[in-house]
Amino acid sequence: MIKIKNIRKKYDSTEILKGIDLNVEDGKVVAIIGPSGSGKTTFLRCINHLESPDEGVISIGGSRIIAGTSQKKDILDLQRKTAFVFQNYNLFRNKTAIENVMLALTVVKKYSKKKAREIAEEMLDKVSLPRERFEYYPSSLSGGQQQRIAIARALALNPELMLLDEPTSALDPELVDGVLDVIRAVAKEGITLIVVTHELSFAAEVADEVVFMDQGEIVEKGKALEVLRRPRELRTKAFLRSIQREYSKIS
C-alpha cells in the first residue's frame, strides 16, 4: 500500500496543501478531481518530490520519506519507484519518439542501448504509436501522439506508481478519447495509478476511488461512483453541479 500522511506545502505565506492524508492499495486507480487552484497538481508533484513538501511522510514500496529529514539517496530511491506523466508531455524536443523513451532507460535504469531500444519499441507498440512514427521528433507529431510517448516512457520504467497530471487537458477534443483508451489499458494491467483529471466519465469508469480536493484539502473520498453520483459534502455537490455537462454523463 502507498501511504501518504500530513503533506503540507507553502509558497511564501500561501498554504497550498493543508495536511493531506491518502492511502492507495496496490493495483488501484485513484482519480483526483477538484476546481483549479485546489492543490491537485502540487500534491501529485509532492508525492515523488518533483516539489519538496514542507511536512509529511510518503511510503511507496518499502521507501519511506520524511519531509525535510530524508537523505538525497532515499528520495532518489522513492523517485525510481514512480513515473510522472505531465499534462504538457515534457518530451525532449531534440530527440525522436523512441529516443525519448530510451533515454529514461539508459539514464535511470543504466540499460544498454540495445536493451533500451527493445523495451522502448515494446512500450510504443503498447500505446499504439504507429511504427513509422518512432523516428519522428515531437514537433512532427500530434498532441495525442506526444502524450502516448510520454505514457510509454513512464511504462518503460516499470514503476510501482504512475502519477498522471491531467493527461488530456492539453489535447484537442478529438484526440482525448485515444489517450484515455491508452490509460484504460494501463489500468487493466494492475499498475497503481493516481490521476488528476477533469474527465468525470473517465473517472467513473476507470477509477476505484475518487478524491475531491478543494482549497488544499481533501474534502471527500470514497468509491468512485458513490462520490460522483451521491456526494455527501456540500462542497463536492457544488463542484459537480458547476460542471453539470460532464456530470450528466455518469448520472
- Would you give per-residue pLDDT tens digits along the chain (251 residues)? 899 999 999 999 899 999 999 999 999 999 999 999 999 999 999 999 999 999 999 999 889 999 989 889 999 999 999 999 999 999 999 999 999 999 989 998 899 999 999 999 999 999 999 999 999 999 999 999 999 999 999 999 999 999 999 999 888 888 999 999 999 999 998 899 999 999 898 999 999 999 999 999 999 999 999 999 999 999 999 999 888 665 566 55
For residue 115, what is its C-alpha cell?
536493451
Tell me if 234 is assigned to some domain: no
Residue 104, in any domain of the structure: yes
Is 154 within the bounds of a domain? yes
The alpha carbon torsion through 75, 6, 212, 79 (nearest 10 deg) reads 0
- The confidence score (pLDDT) of residue 133 equals 97
Range of the domain at 136: 91-158
Whole-number pLDDT of residue 250: 58
pLDDT at residue number 52: 94
Q: What is the pLDDT of residue 70?
A: 85
Nearest C-alpha neighbor of 231 from the set 215, 205, 250, 245: 250
Q: Who's near 216: CB < 8 A, 6+ residues apart?
A: 15, 16, 17, 18, 20, 38, 39
Please indicate, yes or no, if residue 151 is contained in any of the structural domains.
yes
Between the alpha carbon of residue 113 and those of residues 13, 98, 103, 106, 126, the distances in Å are 47, 11, 9, 7, 20
Q: How many domains does the chain have?
A: 1
pLDDT of residue 245: 60
pLDDT given for residue 104 in this prediction: 87
Look at residue 249 and tell me if it is in a domain: no
Establish if 215 belongs to a structural domain. Answer: no
β-sheet with 14-24: strand ranges across: 14-24, 2-11, 55-60, 63-66
Residue 213 belongs to some domain of the structure: no
In a domain, 251, yes or no: no
